[in-house]
Structure 1
Amino acid sequence: MLGGGKSAPPGRKIMVVADPTQESAGALQYALSKAVFDNDELILFHVENPNWWRNTLTMFLKKPGLMNSGPASTSAGASATTSVEESFRRGDMEFLEEMKNACKICKPKIHVRIEKKAVVEGKDKATIILDQSKVLGIDILIIGQRKSLSTVLLGYRLHGASSRGIKPIDTAEYLIDNSNCTCVGVQKKGQNGGYLLNTKTHKNFWLLA
């Protein structure tokens, strides 16, 4: 189910591709509000590539209330949000810990952990994510998606060894098409505009926030 449900089985492994971008923040918001339930394990997976992420410092959460569906207070959510933004501005990797803290504020009963892999010769971001999802036995893979020039700069890959005559393929689309588990591409539409979701069987599925 795209939006999740109360009957979802416990103990699933859900992996969110974590980057310091609004797209990644939207994917995490979707996961916490619609896909993750108590007893699930949430894995924040980041592909380390300092050549590009330092130039994409963006706000993680503009409205803390979107993630304060649990018993935590609004002030605590605001504090976590501020810390995330500050880590982005410093240009360090603390945004992963701040994402983890925000998850625990919103869903205190779930287990959250961080996984990181560095880019290696001969492997692109999509392949690394795909391989790690298999190694960890992921049930649901969630990745932020944006149809714009930024995906060309940040998330596109070449399907094949040579770029000559080959059209770039979006990382999210590649994962959706090739993941053994369910992969959801998430586009967040404003603060209260809902989510546009893409999976292998559902294209441009609209889900209210």
Structure 2
Amino acid sequence: MASGSTPTPPRKVMVVADPCRESAAALQYALSHVVLENDTLILLHVVNPNSSWRIPFGAIFKKAPSLSASSTSSSSSLSSEGFGGGGGGGGGTIDFLEAMKHACGIAQPRLKVHVKRVEMDGKDKASIILAQSTSHGVDLIVIGQRTTLSNAILGPKRSRSLRGLDTAEYLIENSKCTCVGVQRKGNGGYFLNSKTHKNFWLLA
């Protein structure tokens, strides 16, 4: 840093954490393009007792791009361990939130990372995320976004009337802070959606 330059003020960044590929992509985007070492990263998981995840969490990282040379070895380690309850191979299992926190520690060792689980308790996921972002004074929300056929053909606003309100789109439109929806593309880049940018292409 040049002498006399003003340091960037620390921010709080919240990543919506679920044991799925979209969530892993959101975390990778946040670590590689968003957070700095003086920021605080909050991994928020909204627990839905009626949902059962079937994807081995370690498998999510197998095709993930490396954030650094060291994060590649972390991804390999996670792939070999698998995710508890997902039906994947491997003897030991790990909690997916701890796996995400571990990946953060390897990618950015000085980054402050907090893990938070919140029960749905009859509420909808989007409203819980909004409430948590407000109570924690979050500056930016990052959420993985899944591409659907109706979304691709009609666009996110039109497709909502067909498939109900999408959590990521609701957060983008209603969050008091900036919210970015992240879609990982097969060729190594991202499609990003925010209130001001739709389907913005970003190379990894």
Shared fold, TM over 0.5: yes
CA deviation string 1:70-109 (max 9, x = no partner): xx364344213433x3335369871100110011001101
Contiguous gaps of at least 5 residues in structure 1: 1-6, 152-164
Q: 1:75 aligns with which of 62, 73, 76?
A: 73
1:94 counterpart letter in structure 2: D
Task: Summarize deviations over 1:38-87 as a string: whole Å, max 9, x none.
Answer: 11111100000132143454533124652225xx364344213433x333
Give 2:50's aligned residue: 51
Number of residue pairs matched?
184
SS at 1:195 equivalent = strand
Matched residue type, 1:35: V
Which aligned runs of 4 or more in structure 1 are off by greater than 4 angstroms? 90-93
- Once the two structures are superposed, the pairs formed by residues 158-197 of structure 1 within 5 Å of their partners are 168-190=164-186, 192-197=187-192
Map residues 39-118 of structure 1 onto 2, 5 A cutoff: 39-58=38-57, 59-63=59-63, 66-68=66-68, 72=70, 74-83=72-81, 85-87=82-84, 89=86, 94-118=95-119
Q: For 1:27-47, what per-residue CA distance to the aligned partner results, in whole angstroms no more than 9, with x for missing partners?
A: 001001100111111110000
Spell out, residue by residue over 1:162-205, the C-alpha distance to the aligned partner (whole angstroms, 9 max, x if none). xxx98601100000000000000000002x42000000000110
What is aligned with 2:3?
A: none
| Alignment deviations for residues 112-152 of structure 1 (CA, whole Å, 9 cap, x no partner) | 1101100112x100110011000000001000001227x9x
Give yes or no for contact 1:13–1:41 (8 Å, CA) kept in 2.
yes
What's the TM-score once normalised by structure 2's chain length?
0.80
Give the Cα separation in 2 of the matches to 1:117 and 1:185.
Answer: 21
Between the aligned partners of 1:124 and 1:147, the Cα distance in structure 2 is 21
RMSD after superposition: 2.6
Distance 1:65 1:196 in 2: 15
Structure 2 Cα separation of the partners of residues 82 and 47 of structure 1: 26
Q: Is contact 2:12–2:139 with CA below 8 Å preserved after alignment?
A: yes
CA distance in structure 2 between the partners assigned to 1:185 and 1:107 by the alignment: 22
Structure 1 pair 167/76, CA: closer, same or farther in 2 (3 Å)? closer
What is the CA–CA distance in structure 2 between the aligned matches of 1:144 and 1:194, rounded to whole Å? Answer: 14
The offset of 1:15, in angstroms, is: 0.4
1:19 is aligned to 18
Please give the secondary structure, in 2, of the residue aligned with 1:104. Answer: helix
